[in-house]
């Protein structure tokens, strides 16, 4: 299973309209051989429709789907040879685990010895080699989902399509299976297309994340690049948490430029990108990129006095809601270890951030 060749996938100007509803609205992207691409977006943004078009269950209004530069848009699903895993496990309740995994091979009329060897290999891959004789109802939710995964991998599909496969599981199990899926992906070397509305899942597993909104693909990139360089308020907000400061450009300052917000002056690193003094600007500021102390930082380019409104402790860290005159409320996240401020509503604190901690975004 590990030796098989991975395939690439290309989506070109894909549209799917249902009457006036543009479920998918001119979406294009490429998945490199062996990559793990995640379509991330809120409910109703068109993720499942894209996946179903790739699988062949949804007939696109227009556009093309290519595997290794071969157009497959008109091919029926059974000719595409793609593995699929969905939210519901949809295992056959009367078949054993091994029977479930063998099913796609029996449909394909493989020789018995071949079937046995492949089933064993697929079950070992998802660490269920010892449970082949059980019935689905004798398994936990996580184990059932792993059987579904083994069943999708066993016929060595060209691509594996996964639509929110972990969303029915509880948080801890989900995190565990995220690790397993990622390591599985590395071991089999197959191309994975994954759909989720869960940003943590997308960030932790993918080589590439494509963010969807109202049928459109709004930004894609490697998880770290998307998180650190969102182009719009929507992306900054959907992928992680962010504060937003609306301001007006003032002029160049060192290697960056200054802007005014809430009666204060701040510095943004990087080029002004054609912005002129007086132009409106919106910058995104991640809560964990702000430091918080009882005294003003002597080194940070941006400083702001604020007051603690409330806080929420979550073990490894603390989320603070603070209020600054002229600016309003901001969220700041700090590690709980060696906090430099009291957990006390009304306490005066200093916020500080570097000029490259913020990023200008389009207000969409
Ligand atoms: P997601 O998976 O991101 O939640 P979907 O792809 O399921 O989104 O749906 C995208 C949009 O298309 C939604 O507005 C949904 O109501 C609509 N839609 C999906 N399938 C159909 C259908 N068969 N008929 C009409 N509208 C549909
Ligand atoms: Mg969906």
CA distance 212 to 43: 10
334-348: per-residue pLDDT in tens? Answer: 999 999 899 999 999
Cα-flanking dihedrals φ and ψ of residue 164, to 5°?
Answer: 45, 50
Model confidence at 242, pLDDT cuts 50, 70, 90, reads: very high
CA distance 113 to 363: 60
Residue 123's DSSP bridge partners are none
192-241: per-residue pLDDT in tens? Answer: 999 999 999 999 999 999 999 999 999 999 999 999 999 999 999 999 99
**Mean pLDDT within 79-93:** 88
Ligand 1: centre distance to CA 215 (Å): 9
**Mean pLDDT within 295-318:** 94
* Sequence-separated (6 or more) residues with CB below 8 Å from residue 70: none
CA distance 7 to 22: 29
For atom 24 of ligand 1, the residue with the nearest CA is 18
The CATH class of 241-360 is mainly beta
CA distance 86 to 195: 10
CA distance 146 to 152: 10
158-191: per-residue pLDDT in tens? Answer: 899 999 999 888 888 888 889 889 999 998 999 9
Q: Are 245 and 358 in contact (CB under 8 A)?
A: yes
**Mean pLDDT within 268-282:** 93
Residue 353 has what pLDDT? 97
Q: Does residue 89 register a pLDDT over 90?
A: no
Ligand 1: centre distance to CA 16 (Å): 9
> Hunting for tokens 């989900």 — which residue is that?
174
Q: Does residue 33 register a pLDDT over 90?
A: yes
- Is the CB of 309 inside a 6 Å radius of any atom of ligand 1? no
- Is the CB of 196 inside a 6 Å radius of any atom of ligand 1? no
Q: Does residue 1 register a pLDDT over 60?
A: no
Ligand 1: centre distance to CA 213 (Å): 12
**b or e along 70-86 (b: 16 or more beta carbons within 10 Å of the residue's beta carbon)?**
eebeeeeeeebbbbbbb
Q: What angle do CA 248, 251, 255 make, to 5 degrees?
A: 120
Q: Starting from the CA of residue 47, give the closest ligand.
A: 1
Mean pLDDT of the chain: 94
> Hunting for tokens 């899942």 — which residue is that?
201
Cα-flanking dihedrals φ and ψ of residue 248, to 5°?
Answer: -130, 135
**Mean pLDDT within 81-97:** 89
Model confidence at 286, pLDDT cuts 50, 70, 90, reads: very high
- Is the CB of 43 inside a 6 Å radius of any atom of ligand 1? yes
Ligand 1: centre distance to CA 87 (Å): 16
- Is the CB of 197 inside a 6 Å radius of any atom of ligand 1? no
Residue 4 has what pLDDT? 59
Q: What percent of the chain has pLDDT over 70?
A: 99
124-165: per-residue pLDDT in tens? Answer: 989 999 999 999 999 998 899 999 999 999 998 989 999 999
Q: Does domain 9-231 fall into CATH 3.30.1330.40?
A: no
* Dihedral Cα 28, 34, 40, 45, nearest 10 deg: 40
Q: Does residue 2 register a pLDDT over 80?
A: no
Task: Specify the ligand 1 atom closest to the Cα of 45.
Answer: 3
Cα–Cα distances in angstroms (integers) from residue 152 to residues 27, 54, 72, 114, in the given order:
26, 15, 20, 17
Residue spans per domain, the chain: 9-231, 241-360
Per DSSP (E only), the strands in 73-115 are: 82-85
Ligand 1: centre distance to CA 183 (Å): 31
Residue 255 has what pLDDT? 87
Q: Can you give the pTM of this predicted structure? A: 0.92
> Hunting for tokens 């080194």 — which residue is that?
299
34-52: per-residue pLDDT in tens? Answer: 999 999 999 999 999 999 9
Ligand 1: centre distance to CA 17 (Å): 9
CA distance 295 to 299: 12
Q: Are 336 and 324 in contact (CB under 8 A)?
A: no
- Is the CB of 107 inside a 6 Å radius of any atom of ligand 1? no
For atom 26 of ligand 1, the residue with the nearest CA is 18
């Amino acid at each position: 299973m590990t030796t098989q060749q991975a395939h690439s996938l290309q989506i070109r100007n894909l549209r799917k309209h249902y009457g006036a509803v543009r479920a998918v609205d001119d979406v294009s992207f490429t998945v490199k051989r062996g990559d793990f691409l995640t379509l991330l977006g809120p409910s109703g943004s068109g993720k499942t429709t894209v996946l179903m078009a790739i699988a062949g269950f949804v007939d696109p209004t227009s556009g093309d789907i290519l595997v290794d530069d071969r157009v497959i848009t008109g091919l029926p699903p059974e000719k595409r040879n793609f593995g699929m895993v969905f939210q519901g496990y949809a295992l056959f309740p009367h078949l054993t685990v091994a029977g479930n995994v063998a099913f796609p091979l029996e449909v394909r009329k493989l020789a018995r010895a071949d079937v046995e060897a492949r089933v064993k290999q697929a079950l070992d891959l998802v660490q269920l080699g010892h449970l082949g004789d059980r019935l689905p109802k004798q398994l936990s939710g996580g184990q059932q989902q792993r059987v579904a995964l083994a069943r999708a991998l066993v016929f060595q599909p060209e691509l594996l399509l996964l639509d929110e496969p972990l969303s029915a599981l509880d948080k801890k199990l989900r995190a565990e299976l995220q690790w397993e899926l990622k390591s599985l992906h590395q071991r089999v070397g197959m191309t994975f297309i994954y759909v989720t509305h869960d940003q943590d899942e997308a960030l932790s597993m993918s080589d590439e994340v494509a963010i969807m909104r109202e049928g459109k693909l709004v930004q894609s990139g490697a998880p770290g690049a998307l998180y650190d360089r969102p182009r719009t308020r929507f992306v900054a907000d959907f992928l992680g948490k962010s504060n937003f400061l609306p301001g007006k450009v003032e002029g160049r300052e060192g290697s960056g430029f200054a802007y005014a917000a809430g009666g204060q002056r701040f510095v943004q690193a990087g080029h002004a990108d054609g912005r002129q003094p007086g132009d409106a600007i919106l910058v995104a500021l991640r809560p964990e990129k702000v430091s918080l102390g009882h005294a003003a930082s002597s080194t940070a380019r941006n400083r702001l006095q604020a007051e603690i409104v409330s806080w929420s402790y979550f073990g490894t860290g603390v989320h603070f809601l603070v209020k600054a005159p002229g600016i309003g409320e901001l969220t700041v996240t700090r590690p709980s270890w060696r906090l430099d401020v009291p957990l006390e509503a009304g306490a005066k604190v200093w916020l500080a951030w570097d000029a490259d901690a913020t990023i200008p975004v389009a207000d969409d």
